[in-house]
Chain A
Amino acid sequence: MAAFALPFEKPIVDLIARVRELRELAERDASLASELRQLEEQTAHLARELFSSLTPWQKVQLCRHPARPYTLDYIEHITTDFLELHGDRRFGDDPAIVGGLARFRGQSVVVVGHQKGRSTKEKVTRNFGQANPEGNRKATRLYELADKFRLPILTFVDTQGAYPGIGAEERGQSEAIGACLAAMARARVPIIATIIGEGGSGGALALGVANHVLVQEYGTYSVISPEGCASILWKDGSKSDLAAQAMKMTSTDLLALGIVDRIVNEPPGGAHQDAYAAAKLVEASIAESLATLCALSPEAIVEHRYARFRGLGAFVG
């Protein structure tokens, strides 16, 4: 699965591949169970050790790993009966954001997520997960649909940011994002956002005004990309590692700052080493959040979300 490996992953990639092979064999041969368990433990230990010293910039590279599971992978692994709904009813359908109706553990929900492409062709079709205004307006439409039919909303955040293009400006990218934030703010249903990759600026926030915000272990969330920050503040795009460090954009930073409510662990070596296991960890966290939030009345849900964001900010006075 993970043919591409980042330099710092190399020491564990072979080991993880061996675990995968042995796991397949062990399914047919019960006598391999203890050997498998031993290798799994050894691999997990080594991966944790190796990944515990990753720099913020290395984590940024992980969250953008080309083999990392995307929204549609999560939808496949943690929902059933997914019916994709297309279009913003105004101009077009933006494949950079996918959404629709589904069941989460039997319960009807609305799902919305950024979708990056896997193949070169799909990457282009999906515009690398960078939404145009149509994508954000589709999201708004789906939030309103969820509100109308009292369905919880699950979002999956994975974008470098909303697309900066001529057409995007002509068709009102700013207004489209602002409208997303407003629609999420007033939705009378639980919203759970999970950052599954990169959470880049306003484009990410358009799917991020949630009652609970979860982030995967190697997910990131920032006001601007490290490259953008470096080129503006350091006047040098190659200082991205410094910018990534300074912006406090890793999952542990985000938890400490109160930006996210919980960190969802990833399988050893990261979500891309075992998409199914990663999805099951996400599913368990979403299920817990959903159970808590579904106990609140529609008015209380709106108040809860308001209070959550109302408290974010640091100032004196």
Chain B
Amino acid sequence: MSWPTRKQSETDASEKKSVGKGVFRRCDGCGATLTAERMAHNFEVCPECGQHHKLAGRRWRELLLDDASFEEWDAHLLPTDPLGFSDGKAYGDRVASAQRSAGTKEAIEIGRAQIEGEAVAYGAFVFAFMGGSMGSVVGEKITRLFERATVERLPVVLLQASGGARMQEGILSLMQMAKTVAALERVRAAGLPFLSVLLHPTTGGVAASFALLGDVNIAEPKALIGFAGPRVIETTIRQTLPDGFQRSEFLLAHGMVDRIVSRLDMRAELASLVRLLMRKHAGDPASPPHAGA
């Protein structure tokens, strides 16, 4: 349970966006050189080959959620250092630098939002914050997301991108897996949908808790999704892994995800799933046809 150290090829395309016009980006998929502006306009999906590059949380909200519909919950929760952990660099210092570089206080944002008029409980991991790793704050916020969705009778849409449990909080991070899944059971018992959106990468303790337990599991193309990281597996079995191993297409073939959906179609897809599962007519979010059924 770790987060992968970012390779050059995985550099967050959105990071360079703010530099503006005149900056060029090389697509990780086809190698095409495109203006950062054009890439940003297409939500970091390569217009040439469809390669999905990382997208910042703010842009995800812009892509998926109705304008100004996002009302953030529990933004005040902050990490502490329960173990006094240091691996040469103190955990507190790592958190501080992650906060500066990611621009968020922690590795997830949650809240209430609307997707094509449908109210949802919405959460999104911030991979740029310590590899989207799940410590106490992430676990607590996901738990609150599930609990509040149950109380307010909202379907849950959760975007995952995480290397797994956060080692610097040790065993407390592992416990977040149990806590979040127990809360998810309440969503299930209330008959509310959990739409799990798997982004690149989703591994370790996040994969092995709620991420694959969606009523519908949706993956972005070519996302790495798995329990163990590829390098751990290679070290264990002393074999080279086959092409496409643990990618979305591999999971679809093995029955672990329902659908692979392009980022550009995600909003319509999620809205449609919410309406179907909540038994609402398309374009008529206010009145479920068989409310008593």
Question: Which residues of B sit under 8 angstroms from A221, Cβ to Cβ?
Answer: 171, 174
CA distance A309 to B171 in the complex (A): 12
CA distance A254 to B78 in the complex (A): 23
Which residue from A173, A186, A234 sits with its C-beta under 8 Å from B208?
A: A173
Question: Which residues of B sit under 8 angstroms from A310, Cβ to Cβ?
Answer: 143, 179, 182-183
B227 interface contact, C-beta 8 A: yes
A265 to chain B, nearest CB (A): 21
Which residue from B85, B172, B208, B211 sits with its C-beta under 8 Å from A313?
A: B172
CA distance A309 to B78 in the complex (A): 19
CA distance A314 to B210 in the complex (A): 20
B-contact bits for A195-231, CB 8 A (1 contact / 0 none):
0000001100100110000000000011110001100
Which residue from B185, B205, B233 sits with its C-beta under 8 Å from A185?
A: B185
Contact A164 B236, CB 8 Å, known A169-B245, A181-B209, A316-B78: yes
CA distance A310 to B144 in the complex (A): 10
Question: Which residues of B sit under 8 angstroms from A223, Cβ to Cβ?
Answer: 1, 165, 167, 169-171, 173-174, 205
B88 interface contact, C-beta 8 A: yes
B1-44 CB contacts (< 8 Å) to partner A: 1-2
Question: Which residues of B sit under 8 angstroms from A313, Cβ to Cβ?
Answer: 136-137, 139-140, 172, 175-176, 179
B-contact bits for A224-255, CB 8 A (1 contact / 0 none):
10001100111000000011001111000010
CA distance A173 to B188 in the complex (A): 21
- Chain B residue nearest to A178 (CB atoms) is B213
B63-86 CB contacts (< 8 Å) to partner A: 74, 76-80, 82-83, 85-86
A87 to chain B, nearest CB (A): 19
How many chain A residues touch B (CB < 8 A): the figure is: 54
A168 interface contact, C-beta 8 A: yes
A168 touches B227 (CB 8 A): yes
- Chain A residue nearest to B87 (CB atoms) is A233
B292 interface contact, C-beta 8 A: no
Main secondary structure of the interface of A (DSSP, over half): helix
- Chain B residue nearest to A177 (CB atoms) is B208
B212 touches A247 (CB 8 A): no
A173 touches B227 (CB 8 A): yes
A240 to chain B, nearest CB (A): 12
B57-113 CB contacts (< 8 Å) to partner A: 74, 76-80, 82-83, 85-88
CA distance A71 to B76 in the complex (A): 44
B175 touches A249 (CB 8 A): no
Question: Which residues of A sit under 8 angstroms from B87, Cβ to Cβ?
Answer: 233-234, 242-243, 246
B171 touches A174 (CB 8 A): no
Contact A315 B78, CB 8 Å, known A257-B172, A309-B182: yes
How many chain B residues touch A (CB < 8 A): the figure is: 66
CA distance A224 to B171 in the complex (A): 8
A172 touches B212 (CB 8 A): yes
Which residue from B137, B168, B184, B189 sits with its C-beta under 8 Å from A315?
A: B137
A153-173 CB contacts (< 8 Å) to partner B: 162-166, 168-173
A-contact bits for B197-237, CB 8 A (1 contact / 0 none):
00000001101111111000000000001111000110011
CA distance A233 to B209 in the complex (A): 23
Contact A172 B255, CB 8 Å, known A164-B227, A164-B236, A248-B83: yes
B290 interface contact, C-beta 8 A: no
B174 touches A169 (CB 8 A): no
| Most chain B beta-carbon neighbours within 10 Å: one of A168, A224, A243 | A224
B-contact bits for A300-317, CB 8 A (1 contact / 0 none):
000001100110111111
Contact A178 B136, CB 8 Å, known A172-B256, A232-B2: no
Contact A234 B88, CB 8 Å, known A165-B237, A173-B228, A185-B182: yes
B136 touches A169 (CB 8 A): no
A181 touches B177 (CB 8 A): yes
CA distance A162 to B86 in the complex (A): 27
Which residue from A242, A249, A317 sits with its C-beta under 8 Å from B171?
A: A249
Which residue from B170, B175, B212, B245 sits with its C-beta under 8 Å from A166?
A: B245
A46 interface contact, C-beta 8 A: no
Contact A314 B1, CB 8 Å, known A174-B212, A209-B178: no
Question: Which residues of A sit under 8 angstroms from B174, Cβ to Cβ?
Answer: 201-202, 205, 221-223
B226 touches A201 (CB 8 A): no
8 tightest Cβ-Cβ pairs between the two chains A and B: A164-B228, A313-B136, A314-B82, A174-B207, A173-B227, A185-B182, A233-B87, A175-B212
Given contacts A174-B211, A248-B83, A312-B176, 14 further A-B contacts (CB under 8 A): A162-B227, A166-B245, A170-B254, A175-B256, A177-B208, A202-B209, A209-B182, A223-B170, A223-B173, A223-B205, A313-B139, A313-B176, A314-B169, A316-B80
Residues of A within 8 A of B (CB): 162-166, 168-175, 177-179, 181-182, 184-186, 201-202, 205, 208-209, 221-224, 228-229, 232-234, 242-243, 246-249, 254, 257, 259, 305-306, 309-310, 312-317
Residues of B within 8 A of A (CB): 1-2, 74, 76-80, 82-83, 85-88, 136-137, 139-140, 143, 165, 167-179, 181-185, 188-189, 204-205, 207-213, 225-228, 232-233, 236-237, 239, 241-242, 245-246, 250, 254-256
26 contacts between A and B (CB under 8 A): A164-B236, A166-B239, A169-B228, A169-B245, A172-B255, A174-B212, A178-B208, A185-B178, A185-B185, A186-B185, A202-B174, A209-B181, A223-B171, A224-B167, A229-B167, A233-B87, A233-B168, A247-B167, A247-B171, A248-B170, A259-B175, A305-B182, A309-B182, A315-B77, A315-B79, A315-B80
